[in-house]
Amino acid sequence: MPLSITNIIQSDSGFFVGILGNATLPAATTAGNTVILVISQSNNIVTPVGFVADKTSTFVAPVSGIYRKSNVGAESSWAIAPSSSALVSWTVLEIEGLDPDNPVDTITAGAMSTGTGATLSSGTTPVSATYDGLMLAFHACLDTTTATPGTWSGHTNGFTEVEYVGGTDTGRSLGLSTSLNYSLSLGAFSTTATKTATVGQNSTANVIVYTATGAKRAANVVACTGFEFGTTAGLATGNLGSGIFDAITGTPSVINTDARNGTYCLELAASAAAENCLWQTNGALSAASSTGQRPFRASFKFPSSLPSGNTVLFSLEPTTAVDSVVVRYVSASQKIGLKQGTGTEILSDSTVSANEWISVDLRTDGRTTAHKCDWRVTYTQNGNPIDQTQATATGVVNVGGWAVRIGWTASTTATVRYDDIVVSDQGGHYPLGNYIIQSIVADPSGVLTIPGATTDFQTFTANGTLVAWNATTARNAIDELPVVVGASADGFAQVATSASNYVEIPMTTIDAASNGASIRAVRMLACGWAAATTAATLGFRANDGTGEMTIRSAIDVNFDNTTTPAWVCSMVKGTSRQDWTQAKLDALVFRVGFSTDASPAVGINAIYGEVAMRVGDLIEILFVDGGFYTHFRQDPDSAGIISIIFTTPVGTRGATCSWTNSGTPNSIYVPANTVHEELIGATDIAQMTAVGMEPDPV
């Protein structure tokens, strides 16, 4: 149930002068609910006992704060104790349905908004990450020239005032307005209100976004692969955190005969040996926030037959090794077992079969010593996920994140294939769900461009023969997949120092909607080359049509011209979360260059993107007797409509089908015995506003 005014169980506001007062509610709170306390004072604000300060302003009067107490039961009064006598206005709300563990979605950067004008903005939050948010704002005005407290009105951007309180003392006054708004979409939120207080007197304002419990969150994929790079050359070669993987054990293969999606998958095949691929917390996962939670998804397959013995499939490993999450095949039961730390291994509810792509979604949570792991299993490629019993254990509070290891470290005889691996660092992103990962390459019809001197770059063939720049030659040299290394290697390289010059590479694109999916993330993979093993710097950037993002600053990339080339791999994002759209992927270009030495010549053999897409859920929306259906292919996180599927039955009756997309009404006649899919590609719940179906008369 989305957050709304009905989640505000009760609220009240008040005013006092002095060093002690109480914020009160008419009735005792209910356990599990959240108490939000908004305080504005003439001076000397102190965090009330038992509360967390979500945002405070302590320097410019009226000093103010937004405070929170989660999971509050049977309380109705809270002390407010300024450090010295002050005018104090307060508003308290009991709110049902906020996330009890991580209720704050986003707050404004820097100090609260202050001013003396007739209007004041709350400030603007960064783009939120929750798809079910409650925005709380306040405006407070302190007037030292009148005993009439100012009021606030005209709250913009859909905010509605829910509480106002004003008070006065010895010719001064303080007015506090609290307003709320709700949203099922991502956004940057702000509200401006107009005061009646004297212009020239100080005001303070702010806004916070809170998230509902269980709310879907915007994707923040920190690592992914579908093995679409198609090679094991240099699989773990490169600077720590830049390689395809940070480390490998054994001889993993990347094969093209059995992919779950795309062309390639990983095969680990060992006989009494260890074999695995690793992403480390100080490597590929160093950008992941150490929230203590880690949603993860992997798909795997036992080709031909089930393993004869127990086989560890993958593990999530914190700093304290015994607290690892281990997922394995258990031969005695032919089930999947998941063990959190030193706790009891939980077996899946059903057995698994050979020759099926099986997917496991899990979220491990080590934020407290009570570790837990929620998980689900999808037993066939297009099956429905089945929730499993939660695994628990006592462990060390995780502050360093979770490494991800695909495969096993012990002596094992098994053959397992893997595909579509996804790692997120947002607890609310669980379950990650059905992902497909496909590749993009340098667009064979695109034109490579250089903004500066083209003499800064050359193309190479035969692993070392450098010739003058030619855009077509360069493009054709870097678009092969898998990459060609060794004696026949070709590509382009920077040969003259220029920290600002680069080669811009247009990439191919993928129509997510036609795949029934939404774009979640893109990982860049660049296979490096250098004329010698001497250190040389190279940088990587991207542009999605809305702005440039630095993927890797120009540093020594450890490139060479061997058959184990170093790679530079990184998620394509700037300093903040990247919310992908079809338009951004269509516009995506990579920029390679920015070398501060270019000696030896340093460049790339090839460059790819792995595009991680979340397959939408198929949901029946409309039905009319006789076999007329309308289905949505819907993004399970944003609720955006990926496509609409109209189905008419065998016979003589078709249907007139209608929908409204971005405010534009559309209509189509679907004849009898037809399935018509209309691609929408919406990334937001708000884009589609209506759908209908009227069958022909009988």
Partner 1 sequence: MPMPTIYNVGAIASGTGAVTPGLPLGTLADDILLLLIENQDASGIGTVTGYTVITNAFVSSGTLTRLTALYKRATSSESAPSIPDPGDHAVARIIGIRGCINTGSPVNASAPNTQLVSDTSVSIPGVTTTAANCMIIAAFSTGTDVASTTHVSGFANASLANVTERIDNWVIAGGGGGIGACTGEKATAGATGATTATIVTANFKALITIALQGATGGRAIKRRRVQGLILR
- Contact yes or no for 297/349 (Cβ under 8 A): no
Which of 221-253 are b and which e, b meaning 16 or more Cβ less than 10 Å from the residue's Cβ? bbbbbbbbbbbbbbbbbbbebbbbbbbbbbebb
**Shortest reach from residue 696's CB to partner 1, in Å:** 9
CB-based burial, 659-669: b 16+ in 10 Å, e otherwise: bebeeeeeeee
| Under rule CB under 8 A, residue 590 binds partner 1 | no
Residue 167 near residue 173 (C-beta atoms within 8 A): yes
Reference 14, options 151, 174, 136; nearest CA is 174
Regarding 692 and contact with partner 1 (CB under 8 A), the answer is yes
| Residue 110 sits in the site that holds partner 1 (CB under 8 A) | no
Q: Is 216 helix (H, G, I), strand (E, B) or coil?
A: coil
Q: Are 457 and 469 in contact (CB under 8 A)?
A: yes
Question: Applying CB under 8 A, does 685 fall inside the site for partner 1?
Answer: yes
Sole binder of partner 1 in the list 9, 624, 645, 672 (CB under 8 A)? 624
Q: Which of residues 300-319 bind partner 1 (CB under 8 A)?
A: none
Per-position x/- string for 167-186, each x denoting binding to partner 1 as judged by CB under 8 A, each - no binding: -----------------x--
Please state whether beta strands 465-468 and 628-634 pair in parallel, antiparallel, or not at all (unpaired): unpaired
Nearest approach in angstroms of CB 572 to partner 1 is: 28
Q: Is residue 625 a contact residue for partner 1 (CB under 8 A)?
A: yes
Number of residues that bind partner 1 (CB under 8 A): 28
Interface pick for partner 1 out of 305, 623, 668, 671 (rule CB under 8 A): 623
- Kindly state the smallest distance separating residue 651's Cβ from partner 1, in Å: 15
Taking CB under 8 A as the criterion, the residue among 6, 77, 83, 389 binding partner 1 is 6
621 binds partner 1 (CB under 8 A): yes
Contact call for residue 697 and partner 1 (CB under 8 A): yes
Q: Which residue's entry shows tokens 């086989």? A: 311
Mark residues 630-669: x for contact with partner 1 by CB under 8 A, - for none. Answer: x-x-x----x------------------x-----------
Taking the complex as a whole, the smallest distance from the CB of residue 5 to partner 1 amounts, in Å, to 8
- Tell me what percent of the chain is helix, strand and coil, each rounded to the nearest 5: 5, 50, 45
Give the bridge partners for 524, in sequence order: 570, 609
Cβ-based nearer residue to partner 1, 576 or 689: 689
Q: Quick check: 694 binds partner 1 (CB under 8 A)?
A: yes
Identify which of residues 377 and 693 has a Cβ nearer to partner 1 in the complex.
693
Nearer to partner 1, 188 or 618 (CB): 618
Cβ–Cβ under 8 Å, residues 37 and 91: yes
Q: In this chain, which stretch among 171-179, 451-459, 527-535, 624-632 interacts with partner 1, using CB under 8 A?
A: 624-632
By CB under 8 A, the residues from 407 to 446 that bind partner 1 are none
Of 26-34, 305-313, 589-597, 619-627: span binding partner 1 (CB under 8 A): 619-627
Q: How far apart are CA 256 and CA 111, in angstroms?
A: 54
If one asks whether residue 321 binds partner 1 (CB under 8 A), the answer comes out as no
If we measure between CA atoms, which residue out of 354, 326, 348 comes closest to residue 417? 354
468 lies in the binding site for partner 1 (CB under 8 A): no
Q: How far is CA 326 from CA 181, 317, 405, in A?
A: 43, 8, 10
Closest CA relative to residue 441, chosen from 388, 367, 505, 361: 505
Q: Which of 81, 532, 587, 622 binds partner 1 (CB under 8 A)?
A: 622
Residue 93 interacting with partner 1 (CB under 8 A): no
- Judged by CB under 8 A, does residue 690 bind partner 1? yes
CB of 182 to partner 1, least distance (A): 9
Between 184 and 422, CB nearer to partner 1: 184
Burial (Cβ within 10 Å: 0-12, 13-18, ≥19) of residue 288: buried
Which of 222, 607, 680, 693 binds partner 1 (CB under 8 A)? It is 693
Q: Are the C-beta atoms of residues 525 and 607 closer than 8 Å to each other? A: yes
Closest CA to 204 of 178, 171, 167: 178
Stretch that binds partner 1, among 410-418, 429-437, 510-518, 688-696 (CB under 8 A): 688-696
Nearest distance in Å: CB 73, partner 1 = 22
Considering the rule CB under 8 A, would residue 511 count as an interface residue with partner 1?
no
Of 599, 558, 550, give the one whose Cα is nearest residue 239: 558
Least distance in angstroms from the C-beta of 123 to partner 1: 26
**Out of 410, 619, 668, 675, the residue judged to bind partner 1 by CB under 8 A:** 619
Query: Does the footprint of partner 1 cover residue 688 (CB under 8 A)?
Result: yes
Report the candidate in 509, 510, 514, 511 with the shortest Cα–Cα distance to residue 643. 514
Binding residue (CB under 8 A) for partner 1 from 394, 620, 662, 675: 620
Nearer to partner 1, 10 or 263 (CB): 10
- The rounded distance, in Å, linking the Cα atoms of 553 and 139 is 42
Closest to partner 1 by CB, 481 or 622: 622
Instruction: Give whole-number Cα distances, 335 to 159, 307, 348, 350, 680, in Å.
Output: 52, 11, 6, 6, 40
The answer to whether the CB of 498 falls within 8 A of the CB of 595 is yes
Are 528 and 503 contacting, i.e. CB atoms less than 8 angstroms apart? no
Three-state secondary structure readout of 214-247: CCCECCCEEEEECCCCCCCCCCCCCCCCCCCCCE
Residue 695 lies near partner 1 (rule: CB under 8 A):
yes
If we measure between CA atoms, which residue out of 164, 150, 142 comes closest to residue 45? 142
Report the residue number, 606 or 685, with the smaller CB distance to partner 1. Answer: 685
1 lines the binding site for partner 1 (CB under 8 A): yes
Per CB under 8 A, residues contacting partner 1 are 1-2, 4, 6, 184, 619-625, 630, 632, 634, 639, 658, 685, 688-695, 697-698
